[in-house]
């Protein structure tokens, strides 16, 4: 039986279409539909249940140093109450998972990992770093509020958290409830992720939904929003067989961990990553705009103007903000230039695509 988050009761009350996802029953959309939910998030504030994600606290001696053995991040230099995007690597230079890591400032670090990988991640971390203590918080919910009105809503409900800059965190209270808030999200918009005890999750979500700018949004719009914003999804743009350099995430290899940095190498797959940084890659992630309205699908082969296979589609969605189908794919560097014409064959008929710059809509992170 699929698991349920602490907020399933509200999803059903709101008439959500529930689907299996990463071992949970999750809302894919609400009665207004994915297009309306996507648009509302871009214009006002969408509320997302992301409680299926894994919330893990790490404690022990020299936590930052130990975590750097598995990820090419600068945790030693991560300021208290700051967060960073991180990659849990394998020996082949691929990505076991991508996650958000926060320095709590008191010797603890928090990890937010993908739902489908969270139990495997926990087992791997425990086996590789047995001197640290990893605690999965299955008793907590995680609620994301995203969009240009999210900060105004938070100013009314959580004034301390409302002053956060992108990728910083703070403990606050909302209507007497203790919360841990991070200024982050998965839509490209300004927004916050609120960690709260599962027992307090339903009242908190009701309080947020009572704000006039806020509407519930499901996983369908979450996917189209993140694709427009050029954000990777593990299992699509990242995987154990796709490296961060191929995925266009060189920036996620912290300068301190690169060959010229103060703490180079020392993580799984480092030699492969360093070679790709030096020599380049044979494939790279690109954005794709589709001509017309006919959707393309992940897994379909990408062809050049001569009909030769040059890559594949890894994600697809209807780009509500741009009014047509969009995709991301991996292609040979020779056809990765913005404006290059490609095609896919759908039932034997060619559909034209054009390589597009990422992100395909502007990102609006609040950097202060």
pTM for this prediction: 0.97
Which residues face 191 on adjacent strands?
146
Average pLDDT over every residue of 298-319: 97
The number of residues making up the chain comes to 368
Strand partners, 351: 344
Residue 347 has pLDDT above 90, yes or no: no
Domain boundaries, the chain: 8-48+138-228, 282-368
Q: Helix, strand or coil for residue 112?
A: strand
Question: The tokens of 66 are what?
Answer: 């130990």
User: Is residue 76 very low, low, confident or very high in pLDDT (cuts 50, 70, 90)?
Assistant: very high
3-state secondary structure 218-230: CHHHHHHHHHHCC
Fold of 8-48+138-228: Gyrase A; domain 2 (3.30.1360)
Q: What is the pLDDT of residues 24-55, one digit of tens each?
A: 999 999 999 999 999 999 999 999 999 999 99
pLDDT band at 368 (very low <50, low <70, confident <90, very high): confident
Residue 344 pLDDT more than 90?
A: yes
Return the pLDDT at 42: 98
Sequence-ordered list of residues with C-beta below 8 angstroms from that of 37, at least 6 positions apart, any chain: 29, 30, 46, 215, 216, 217, 218, 220, 221
pLDDT at 9: 96
Residue 27: phi, psi to the nearest 5? -80, 120
Longest dimension (CA), the chain: 64
222-277 residue pLDDT tens? 999 999 999 999 999 999 999 999 999 999 999 999 999 999 999 999 999 999 99
Q: How far apart are CA 35 and CA 259, in angstroms?
A: 45
**For residue 348, what pLDDT is reported?**
87
For residue 1, name the pLDDT band (cuts at 50, 70, 90): confident
Q: Are the folds of 8-48+138-228 and 282-368 the same?
A: no
Positive/negative CA dihedral, 306, 311, 313, 319: negative
Element (H, E) at 277: helix 270-279
Query: pLDDT value at position 357?
Result: 97
Number of helices (H), then strands (E), belonging to the chain: the values are 8, 19
Mean pLDDT of 82-97: 98
Task: Measure CA of the first residue to CA of the last residue in the chain; give whole Å.
Answer: 44
Residue-wise pLDDT for 170-184, tens only, equals 999 999 999 999 999
* Average pLDDT of the residues of the chain: 97
Strand, coil or helix: what is 119?
helix
**CATH: 1.10.287.610, 3.40.50.80, 2.40.30.110, 1.20.810.10. Which one for 282-368?**
2.40.30.110
pLDDT-based confidence at residue 82 (cuts at 50, 70, 90): very high
pLDDT single digits (tens) 197-219: 999 999 999 999 999 999 999 99
**How many other β-carbons are positioned within 10 Å of the β-carbon of residue 70?**
20
């Amino acid at each position: 039986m699929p698991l349920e988050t602490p907020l399933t009761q509200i999803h059903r009350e709101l008439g959500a279409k529930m689907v299996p996802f990463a071992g949970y029953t999750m809302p894919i959309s609400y009665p207004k539909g994915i297009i309306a939910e996507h648009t509302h998030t871009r214009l006002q504030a969408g509320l997302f249940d992301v409680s299926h994600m894994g919330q893990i606290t790490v404690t022990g001696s020299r936590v930052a140093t130990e975590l750097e053995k598995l990820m090419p991040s600068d945790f030693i230099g991560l300021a208290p109450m700051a967060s960073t995007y991180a990659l849990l690597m394998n020996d082949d230079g691929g990505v076991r998972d991508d996650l958000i890591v926060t320095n709590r400032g008191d010797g603890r670090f928090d990890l937010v990992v993908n739902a489908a990988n969270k139990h495997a991640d926990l087992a791997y971390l425990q086996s590789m770093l047995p001197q640290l203590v990893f605690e999965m918080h299955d008793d907590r919910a995680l609620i994301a509020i995203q969009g240009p009105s999210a900060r105004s809503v938070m100013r009314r409900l959580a004034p301390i958290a409302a002053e956060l800059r992108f990728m910083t965190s703070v403990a606050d209270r909302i209507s007497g409830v203790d919360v841990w808030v991070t200024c982050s999200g998965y839509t490209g918009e300004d927004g916050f992720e609120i960690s709260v005890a599962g027992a307090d999750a339903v009242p908190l979500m009701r309080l947020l939904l009572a704000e006039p700018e806020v509407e519930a949004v499901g996983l369908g719009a979450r996917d189209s929003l993140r694709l427009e914003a050029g954000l990777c999804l593990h299992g699509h743009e990242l995987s154990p067989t796709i490296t961060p350099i191929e995925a266009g995430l060189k920036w996620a290899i912290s300068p301190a961990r690169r060959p010229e940095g103060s703490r180079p190498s020392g993580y799984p797959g480092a030699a492969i990553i360093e070679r790709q940084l030096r020599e380049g890659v044979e494939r790279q992630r690109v954005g794709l705009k589709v001509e017309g309205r006919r959707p393309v699908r992940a897994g379909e082969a990408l062809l050049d103007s001569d009909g030769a296979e040059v890559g594949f589609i890894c994600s697809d969605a209807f780009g509500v903000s741009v009014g047509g189908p969009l995709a991301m794919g991996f292609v040979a560097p020779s056809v990765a230039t913005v404006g290059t014409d490609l095609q896919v064959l759908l039932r034997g008929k060619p559909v034209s695509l054009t390589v597009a710059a990422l992100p395909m809509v502007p990102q609006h992170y609040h950097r202060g």
